Amino acid sequence: MLRLENLPALHSALAALAEPVDGWLLFDFRGINPILAAVVGPEVVGSRRAYVYVPRDGNPVALVHAVDAELWREWPPAWRRIVWVRREELARELTALVGGRTVAMEYSPGGAVPYGDYVPAGTLELVRGAGATPVSSAELVTRYCSAWSAADLASHLRAAATLSDIARSAIGRIGERARTVAPATEHEVTGWVLDALDRAGLVTHSPPSVSYGANAARVHYDAPEEGSLAIVPGALLLLDLWAKEPGGVYGDQTWMVAIGAPSARAAGLWSAVRDARDAALDLLRSRLEAGEPVTGAEADRAARQVIAAAGHADRIVCRTGHSIDRVGLHGYGPTIDDTESFDARRILPGVGFSVEPGIYFPGEIGLRSEVNGHARVDGLDVTPGDYQRELIVV
């Protein structure tokens, strides 16, 4: 539940906006807006419409239905909680709260950024009918939900280092078994990684992706217990793993391994993917070091241009990276995307994200190289510190 001690950070985020608003109007109905749950708390998500108005100065106000009022029992007593029953009451109270004000809401003009576009069109009409002017809350979400604290960064750095160690250890074991009569299978390696995460005290919401040969072209491949491929010389292995400390921020990495000497084609594709990753990182780093604005869309284009120059633009199937924040592995901050969407949100100091360009030939071969970035006021942190520069050969 949103607490009194959270209010200064909320007010600071509102005060820092490039385009000022009068307040943040959070809306939810049956969980359709995860941002409200992230800001206020998942325990208040009920079966009726709910609003929370956070003015630029002053205390938040909750506008909740009588059926769900019990869910709000931990709402600070010093803050107003208005309970409504009839729709006429809702309209009247909403008008009193936000009429004549400019309010940030989870709305993206033209649906440009779906990661911040959760308020239905009809609700926007209702808010406008109450006399308010809704604008996008994108920058506000970035500042409040997605900027890491010093503790968040420290937790991420520890998780990233551990993930790197686990990946390299698994790759070594795969190499030891690859030419024996009992090579490791994709599913077996999945179990190794999960056991290692558990021993390290890290948690994850889903198993790693261990993809050998043509399976690496299946972006979200999950190795089955039955029918999992044996990892033997002659193809590439893609190992994608993610985890965090309890209460911490995720690390998310993808490693590429040649089992035996790679073909000229595999080596060339690896170079294109690595160089695309580094082009995005170089752009982000140079802009941040210079104190110049940079967006996720620009970084995505930088990566895409490298892959296109190598002749594989038609083998890009997704954006270059996703947000990583304290809310989750796929967070609500800026994405590295001018492919699936046009993410013109600025990469602000404190935000984290993945950078993971890939090239995919279905039924043949797939490659991806993934690292994580954390924007600083004066530059860019890239994790893990020993991220992959060359194709690993075992």
Band of pLDDT at residue 146, cut at 50, 70 and 90:
very high
Q: Are residues 207 and 292 in the same domain?
A: yes
pLDDT for the residue 152: 98
Band of pLDDT at residue 54, cut at 50, 70 and 90:
very high
Q: How far apart are CA 8 and CA 285, in angstroms?
A: 30
Yes or no: say if 77 and 60 are a contact pair by the CB < 8 Å rule.
Answer: no
Structural domain ending residue among the three candidates 124, 146, 168 = 146
Q: Are residues 142 and 190 in the same domain?
A: no
Q: Are residues 49 and 88 in the same domain?
A: yes
pLDDT for the residue 45: 98
Domain count, the chain: 2
Pairing of strands 102-105, 23-28: parallel
Q: Are residues 274 and 170 in the same domain?
A: yes
Structural domain ending residue among the three candidates 146, 172, 201 = 146
Pairing of strands 209-212, 235-243: antiparallel
**pLDDT tens digit sequence for 121-139:** 999 999 999 999 999 999 9
Q: Are residues 173 and 304 in the same domain?
A: yes
Expressed as residue numbers, the domain containing 30 is 6-146
Crossing angle of the two packed helices 296-309 and 264-289, in degrees rounded to 10: 150
Q: Is 82 helix (H, G, I), strand (E, B) or coil?
A: strand
Nearest one of 21, 25, 41, 18 to 94, comparing CA atoms: 25
pLDDT for the residue 110: 94
Structural domain contains residue 1? no
pLDDT for the residue 304: 98
Q: How far apart are CA 345 and CA 336, in angstroms?
A: 10
Burial class (CB in 10 A: 0-12, 13-18, 19+), 265: exposed
Nearest one of 292, 263, 294, 284 to 365, comparing CA atoms: 263
Q: Are residues 178 and 36 in the same domain?
A: no
Residues 6+ apart with CB under 8 A from 44: 1, 36, 37, 50, 64, 68, 71, 72, 75
Q: Are residues 208 and 348 in the same domain?
A: yes
Q: Are residues 308 and 384 in the same domain?
A: yes
Quickly count: other Cβ atoms within 10 Å of residue 377's Cβ. Answer: 10
Q: Are residues 280 and 139 in the same domain?
A: no
Whose structure tokens read 């090579």? 183
Band of pLDDT at residue 218, cut at 50, 70 and 90:
very high
Yes or no: say if 204 and 197 are a contact pair by the CB < 8 Å rule.
Answer: yes
pLDDT for the residue 283: 98
Q: Are residues 266 and 341 in the same domain?
A: yes
Q: Are residues 33 and 124 in the same domain?
A: yes
Q: Are residues 196 and 71 in the same domain?
A: no
Q: How far apart are CA 243 and CA 205, in angstroms?
A: 8
Mean pLDDT of the chain: 98
